[in-house]
Structure 1
């Protein structure tokens, strides 16, 4: 089990809201990042707080302005991007066109998975949608990813991605029986392929968790953790897997991921435990042993410390571990 597969299966990525935007010049749309909210420890979070958006240009040309990027980006057919929840963008037919509506407002007008917007001039077709992740997470998966990933159609190693883009665009255009199911599955495949293309094209720019996953030595250790979370890992044994000295491994792990190796192991054990507990088909001792604890007492103590609630409270009120104790580092800083 590689780390990306393990994390996405555990946190349940789901595509939703796919639609086709038929824009005609002049047009301009804005996506504003939401105001920051403090989530009460006793309550559930807004489900939109762990969402990543995507868009792909199926026809025509347009311009994209991204928060934190100095110059407007020209987009052509086949270009696509992922957008984190907390990033603002403007898309328009021209850098000089001012946005007059939000993407949300236009999405509210969708009929048969198509929205129309603009002044009737040159056409542009954009396939849009979002990905939602399981809310029972110690750290929103959207925080493991860059705020913005752009894949240009002429980048290398994107043949599989292009095939998926074309299939998704075709599915959204034809609306044949079962198109909703097919487009959802294609969008979920698209998500992973965009990450692959991003990693392949800009390995030196990857930071944090993505950088660690694809680092030869750290990635080997992370793969071992995700493959066998119940192993009694120590810093020494993980360093041996990585082919590094204990001190060099510990220092590099902390530098790249922002937490110690054993903090990462414990956090991921608790993430897996939350998934197992929600299934409600195993005894507490069985869950404990599946994530590497010999006794339910030791497991319960660690769960309360990391998640911020005991197992009963977690299940009773749908506790969201993203508001876990501030003193404990969660996965993938």
Structure 2
């Protein structure tokens, strides 16, 4: 499986709420960092993002993925004194402001499985800006429109809205992952390299295979030494360290599914459950059984450790 698909499939995204804000100057809304994740989509017009002492102007097609704990303000101008979101977002459809220049923004909140999202989300900035154009923008705006159309009280509307909210976030994240730039986590940078991507996708597609640096280099069409050097330069780690990390990531997902250690060992490239346990303890500091018990008590990001607001 492609690593991006792997993460987005297993991280258990759950749409918790959304609000379509039709704003006109003067206006300003301040968002707390209570939600595990927020998605902001500017569907029409322009507004200003204020976060962490910085100010950024946003336009139609700009999206924000905001990590839990990050506070931010959306407004017509940076100097505007905002109202708290909890006082403004009292319904799914909200109109704010005084009748000046207009802007339409969709704001959605999500919970997710923090363990499954570990390879991606902790590596993102507190506020990730994704500027959509072309087909990516059309797909996102179409999903926003479908959410607006489903916002009534019809049969099954909550189920449909939840699924559409998940789709919307995946569309934005997919567009960012597929884009170019230097702000990608190391393993995503490898996926954008024409040669390294061949080896990286092969590795992720079959974690149980007894990969060596030489066999991965062969997939990339490179010498062993050139591949190892290029991989470390792009990702910051060796090919086999990367392989071990993703094997442990997959093992943790399977542990949470209740799989036996022997079954997990076979699926992630270890001959015995003892070999898996040794590798797991080296990587995580605890045995697989102990880890499973600890995670079962903590729960997902939608639980006590990371409440949805």
Do Structure 1 and Structure 2 share a fold, with TM-score over 0.5?
yes
Give deviations 1:268-307, integer Å, cap 9, x for gaps: 1111111212222x33211111111101111111111112
Shift of 1:54: 0.6
Cα distance 1:75–1:135, how it changes in 2: closer, same or farther (>3 A)?
A: same
Cα distance 1:119–1:145, how it changes in 2: closer, same or farther (>3 A)?
A: closer
Is residue 40–residue 65 contact of structure 2 (8 Å, CA) maintained in 1?
yes
Secondary structure of the residue aligned to 2:166 is helix
1:1-333 equivalent positions in 2, closer than 5 A: 1-23=1-23, 25-31=25-31, 51-67=36-52, 71-76=55-60, 78-85=61-68, 87-101=70-84, 103=85, 105-106=86-87, 110-111=90-91, 113-114=92-93, 118-122=96-100, 124-137=103-116, 139=118, 141-152=120-131, 155-158=133-136, 159-172=138-151, 174-199=152-177, 202-208=179-185, 209-280=187-258, 282-318=259-295
Cα distance 1:302–1:180, how it changes in 2: closer, same or farther (>3 A)?
A: same
Give deviations 1:214-273, integer Å, cap 9, x for gaps: 222222222112210111111111111122222222222222222221111111111111
Shift of 1:213: 2.2
Give deviations 1:93-117, integer Å, cap 9, x for gaps: 223312242x4x347x534x3456x
Alignment RMSD? 3.1
Is residue 57–residue 125 contact of structure 1 (8 Å, CA) maintained in 2?
yes
Aligned residues: 296
In the aligned structure 2, how far is the partner of 1:244 from the partner of 1:130? 44
TM superposition score normalised by structure 2: 0.81
Structure 1 gaps, min length 5:
35-47, 322-333
TM superposition score normalised by structure 1: 0.76
In the aligned structure 1, how far is the partner of 2:16 from the partner of 2:193? 32
